């Protein structure tokens, strides 16, 4: 660790020397602005800096933290580090019980599955995890699904508001259903080359397209098992992301019912294995996939059987969210809150691997967790506290299904009706400052109006995400707040780098997804440029401060799927 810190210091000196001339004018302007800043805002904002950010990332992503998996020594190291850093900043314990942690009861399960299909008089053997993954989230040791009829249910969606029902009244109790990922791609009646914006989200994924929903509705319908066919383009990530995480220890929140209301088996299979199954059962995969995008689609029995046998290694785990509070200055408004979130966990250590066994998770999400500390520092540097209280919440088990944020949203330490906004960070920008800011789930709330105004002070613009069909809005911790009605903002650096080729950041992001995302190679690299991350954090700081000192509650847009929940919850306290 000492060698790392010495190296960091030397690299920082070299970097500052190389960039000294380029930044001389900008630094002079900054010093002038800070000197004339009577509110202390700019000074507090500029306390967020690349060197401190990188130091926190290096620590959190170090081998000593063993990949920060819940229920391991890596969790202990992470929780202790975050607690110490929040204490050093003079923040109050975020839990009203006087501690910096919220205990999150979970159980860990490691599935050892066996599976095969029988179709057309032959057995299709499945190799785990190369062909498929399968887990049971029931808190039991042995799960068996034998000789279960396979039924293709298209996209597995029941959406009355769109007149859509992929089940069409077919009884799937005890059966194994097979589904496609994402929402159905319905062409526009006026322009077949575009998707119909009046059906689901058009190009943008709705929650109906998220894999979690598909398993939820399958359980409601009484299916024994559910299989999602993985396709890289609509899923937004390669199959290796699924196999890498689902083939290891996973977690769920503990409950008295031991999750017996969940599916017995939740599974994914590769596109190629799905095609083999369909062909063996006398079906054309492409034809059925095309039919599934039609409102009149009806479930198709595949004339095949599924067999699953899962042995679960189980353990009870008491994981922790880490939470710190900066109490607001206004005697009345201090009981209202702005919550910043970032998940501290990653994928831990895999001793079955040869060579490097640690999933360090430097970008995902040591960077966001480090950003949370830097934001907390900035708020403590303000000469006058904001009117409302600020919560800094580092949540556990995001990688296991948003479990830490899900638990907090279901068991909030502070009323969600008094929570004005959630601002979430998941993977900061290590490449270069950008001219644009991407809003994930663009058009959802008027928090974007504040973001737009504050981005303008940085000579930046806000833009929608380029691939809303990937459903990124449903894949990070802000979503659990949104589901409970709390206006949530999830923004990221854009793709237009300042003074760089047009495709500079796009190529970097593609390289990260292909080579490092959810792999042991997600580490700190010496060519990182965290100036863009700093600029983003300063932007989030200004947005949160605006909300904390504002005269009104942020609201969801009229067409947002979360608006009704917020209105109902606020009406109940009137």
pLDDT at 245: 86
CATH 3.40.630.10 placement within the chain: 55-90+327-572
pLDDT at 470: 86
pLDDT surpassing 60 at residue 503: yes
CATH 3.50.30.30 placement within the chain: 107-314
Mean pLDDT for the stretch of residues 131-156: 97
Q: Lowest-confidence range among 188-197, 268-277, 282-291?
A: 188-197
> CA-based angle 287:292:293, to the nearest 5?
105
Tell me the per-residue pLDDT of 510-519, one tens digit each, with 9 for 90 and over. 999 989 999 9
pLDDT surpassing 70 at residue 4: no
Tell me the per-residue pLDDT of 221-244, one tens digit each, with 9 for 90 and over. 999 999 999 999 888 889 998 998
pLDDT at 128: 97
In three-state secondary structure terms, 437 is strand
Share of the chain above pLDDT 70, in %: 93
Share of the chain above pLDDT 90, in %: 85
pLDDT higher for 407 or 8?
407
Tell me the per-residue pLDDT of 384-416, one tens digit each, with 9 for 90 and over. 999 999 999 999 999 999 999 999 999 999 999
In three-state secondary structure terms, 217 is helix
What is the CB-side half-sphere exposure of residue 489 using CA atoms within 13 A?
A: 29
Tell me the per-residue pLDDT of 59-98, one tens digit each, with 9 for 90 and over. 999 999 999 999 999 999 999 999 999 999 999 999 999 9
Task: Give the Cα separation of 67 and 366 in Å (integer).
Answer: 10
Statement: 107-314 belongs to CATH 3.50.30.30: yes
pLDDT at 16: 39
pLDDT at 8: 36
Please tell me the pTM assigned to this model.
Answer: 0.87
DSSP of 106-159, one letter per residue? EEEEEEEEEEEEEETTEEEE--TTTTEEEE--SS-SEEEEEEEEEEE-TT--EE
Inter-residue contact 381 to 326 (CB < 8 Å): no
Distance of CA 426 to the CA centre of its chain: 7
Band of pLDDT at residue 436, cut at 50, 70 and 90: very high
**The two structure tokens encoding residue 241:** 């992301």
Tell me the per-residue pLDDT of 522-551, one tens digit each, with 9 for 90 and over. 999 999 999 999 999 999 999 999 999 999
Residue for token pair 């009244």: 169
Query: For 161-186, b where at least 16 C-beta lie within 10 A, e where not — what string?
Result: ebebbbbeebebeebbbbbbbbbbbb
Tell me the per-residue pLDDT of 12-45, one tens digit each, with 9 for 90 and over. 333 334 444 444 444 445 544 454 565 789 999 9
Mean pLDDT for the stretch of residues 200-213: 91
CATH number of 55-90+327-572: 3.40.630.10, 1.20.1260.10, 3.40.50.410, 3.40.50.150?
Answer: 3.40.630.10
pLDDT at 25: 41
Band of pLDDT at residue 159, cut at 50, 70 and 90: very high
pLDDT at 411: 98
pLDDT surpassing 70 at residue 181: yes
pLDDT at 38: 57
Task: Give the Cα separation of 490 and 422 in Å (integer).
Answer: 9
């Amino acid at each position: 660790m000492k060698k790392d810190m010495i190296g960091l210091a030397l690299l920082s000196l070299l970097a500052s020397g190389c960039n000294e001339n380029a930044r001389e004018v900008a630094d002079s302007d900054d010093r002038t602005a800070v000197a004339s800043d009577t509110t202390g805002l700019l000074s507090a904002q500029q306390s967020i800096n690349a060197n401190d950010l990188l130091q926190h990332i290096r620590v959190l992503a170090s081998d000593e933290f063993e990949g920060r998996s819940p229920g391991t020594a890596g969790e202990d190291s992470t929780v202790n580090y975050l607690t110490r850093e929040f204490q050093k900043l003079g923040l109050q314990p975020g839990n009203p019980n006087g501690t910096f942690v919220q205990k999150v009861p979970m159980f860990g399960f490691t599935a050892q599955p066996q599976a095969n299909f029988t179709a057309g008089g032959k057995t299709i053997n499945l190799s785990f995890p190369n062909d498929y993954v399968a887990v049971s989230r029931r808190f039991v040791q042995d799960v068996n699904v034998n000789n279960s009829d396979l039924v293709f249910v298209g996209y597995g969606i029941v959406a009355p508001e769109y007149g859509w029902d992929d089940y069409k009244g077919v009884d799937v109790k005890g059966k194994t259903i097979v589904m496609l990922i994402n929402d159905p791609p319905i062409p526009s009646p006026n322009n077949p080359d575009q998707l119909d914006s009046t059906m689901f989200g058009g190009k943008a994924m709705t929650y109906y397209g998220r894999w979690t929903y598909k398993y939820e509705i399958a359980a409601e319908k009484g299916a024994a098992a559910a299989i999602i066919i993985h396709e890289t383009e609509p899923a937004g990530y390669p199959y290796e992301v699924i196999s890498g995480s689902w083939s290891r220890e996973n977690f769920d929140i503990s409950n008295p019912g031991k999750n017996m209301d969940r599916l017995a088996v939740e599974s994914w299979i590769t596109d190629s294995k799905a095609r083999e199954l369909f062909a063996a059962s006398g079906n054309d995969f492409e034809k059925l996939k095309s039919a599934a995008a039609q409102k009149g689609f009806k479930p198709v029995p595949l004339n095949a059987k599924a067999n699953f046998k899962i042995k679960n290694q189980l353990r009870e785990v008491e994981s922790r969210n880490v939470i710190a509070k900066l109490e607001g200055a206004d005697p009345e408004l201090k009981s209202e809150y702005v919550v910043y979130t970032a998940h501290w966990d990653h994928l831990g250590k895999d001793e079955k691997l040869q060579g490097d066994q640690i999933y360090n998770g430097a970008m995902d999400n040591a960077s966001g967790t480090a950003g949370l500390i830097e934001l907390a520092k900035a708020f403590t540097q303000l000469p006058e506290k904001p009117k409302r209280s600020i919560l800094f919440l580092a949540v556990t088990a995001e990688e296991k299904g948003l479990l830490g944020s899900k638990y907090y949203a279901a068991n909030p330490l502070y009323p969600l009706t008094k929570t004005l906004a959630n601002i979430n960070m998941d993977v900061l920008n290590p490449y270069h400052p950008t001219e644009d800011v991407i809003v994930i789930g663009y058009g959802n709330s008027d928090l974007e109006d504040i973001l737009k105004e504050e981005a303008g002070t940085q000579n930046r613009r806000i833009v929608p995400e380029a691939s809303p069909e990937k459903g990124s809005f449903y894949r990070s911790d802000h979503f659990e707040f949104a589901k409970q009605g709390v206006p949530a903002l999830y923004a990221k650096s854009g793709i237009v780098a300042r003074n760089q080729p047009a495709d500079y950041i796009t190529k970097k992001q593609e390289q990260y997804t292909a080579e490092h995302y959810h792999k042991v190679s997600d580490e700190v690299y010496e060519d990182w440029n965290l100036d863009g991350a700093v600029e983003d954090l300063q932007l989030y700081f200004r947005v949160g401060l605006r909300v904390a000192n504002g005269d009104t509650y942020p609201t969801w847009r009229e067409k947002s799927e979360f608006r009704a929940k917020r209105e109902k919850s606020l009406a109940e306290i009137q």
